[in-house]
Amino acid sequence: MANWRALGAHAPQAECGAVVKADAYGCGLSAVAPALALAGCRTFFVAHLSEGIFARKLLPEAAIYVLNGLPPGAGAAFAEHALRPVLGDREELAEWAVLSDGRLPAALHVDTGMNRLGLSVPDALALAGDPVIGKAGIDLVMSHLVSAEIPADPLNARQAADFSRLRAAFPQARASLANSSGTCLADDTRHDLLRPGYSLFGGNPEPGRPNPMRPVVRLEATILQVRDVEAGATCGYNARWTAPSPRRLATLSLGYADGYPRAASGRGHALVGGVPCPILGLISMDLIILDVTDASDARRGGTATLIGDGLDIDTVGANAGTIGYEILTGLGSRYVRNYVE
């Protein structure tokens, strides 16, 4: 919640919403949503109708927008659960306008560069005076930044300029452009409503710079066995690692079936007693082997930290050749999850 407040402080004149799609980025919507609501968050975004229905049970009062829009024929379900579709083309607009008749709110998604979802800028501008906008209850105009995490990318300024023209054409609606990284960009990206997701959960919105967010997720695994091996010994499937000298290995009770990426095989590390211990050989479905030669604390029944104590999700993502977003959203269902506040 400290992260939500810190992001909101970037733009005191704007409201800070929360993107909680994908089970709150793998952190667990049923724990995250009520905590954010208690902290004062009033506007939430999910990706799917099913996520919206689940979120509505947890958030009876909040405005909940569904980013992936209105699937054909789904209008009644949106209305029943008081969900707001983010409408991205004329068909969706027309379908919702019939159902809403100006009474049920929705957002308008304009594509300013992603070529993914939303009306084109000229299309949206052409619709600005059209009665369908009022009939569809458009109370929010939004777009999404392509490269917000790369502040020097000229696309940011171009999208911000297009979006400023759009918002002027829809004076009755609030405007929202900034995701986590967008919140940290120039003033002209923030508008009325911030839409951070990743940074709420501890991800760094400014890659390459010190992470201003508080870490949220901690991942620990139990050490099942510790063994000493001779130089020349190998470990794991296909014997991908060979001991260069006598080493001490520890086997962890966690593998790729838990969402720890197999792509981090031979590249990532974990901490044992604060000491970085390299991951050796191929990560198994349920097990990871560490080199704990330098970690005098390593013992059966002890723990290794895979995320936490300065080993952040951005680093874990980079070690697996991916981004922290994928690490978070991939966190498995087999863990024992403890929520602390």
Single out the catalytic residue among 57, 237, 335, 339: 237
Q: Cβ contacts of residue 103 below 8 Å, gap of 6+?
A: 137
Q: Is residue 260 annotated as part of the catalytic site, yes or no?
A: no
Contacts to ligand PLP from residues 45-84, by CB under 6 A: 67
Smallest distance from the beta carbon of 326 to ligand PLP, in angstroms? 12
- Tell which one of 197, 202, 317, 324 touches ligand PLP (CB under 6 A): 197
Q: Does 196 bind ligand PLP (CB under 6 A)?
A: yes
Single out the catalytic residue among 21, 65, 135, 325: 21
Q: Is residue 237 annotated as part of the catalytic site, yes or no?
A: yes
Contacts to ligand PLP from residues 253-282, by CB under 6 A: none
142 annotated as a binding-site residue: no
Contacts to ligand PLP from residues 14-43, by CB under 6 A: 19, 21
Rounded Cα distance, 105 and 108, in Å: 10
Task: Please say which residue, 134 or 215, places its beta carbon nearer to ligand PLP.
Answer: 215
From the list 73-81, 154-162, 194-202, 220-228, the region that binds ligand PLP by CB under 6 A is: 194-202
Q: Cβ contacts of residue 277 below 8 Å, gap of 6+?
A: 250, 269, 270, 271, 290, 291, 292, 294, 295, 298, 304
Q: Does 204 bind ligand PLP (CB under 6 A)?
A: no
Q: Could you tell me if 255 and 288 are in contact, meaning their C-beta atoms sit under 8 angstroms apart?
A: yes
Q: Could you tell me if 63 and 107 are in contact, meaning their C-beta atoms sit under 8 angstroms apart?
A: no
From the list 190-198, 240-248, 253-261, 294-302, the region that binds ligand PLP by CB under 6 A is: 190-198
Print burial letters for 104-122: b (CB count within 10 Å at least 16), e (below 16). Answer: bbbbbbbbbbeeebbbebe
* 65 HSE (CA, 13 A, CB side): 25
Rounded Cα distance, 82 and 105, in Å: 9
Catalytic residue ranges: 21, 237
- Binding site per annotation, positions: 116, 285
**Applying CB under 6 A, which residues contact ligand PLP?**
19, 21, 67, 144, 179-180, 195-199
- Binding site per annotation, positions for substrate: 116, 285
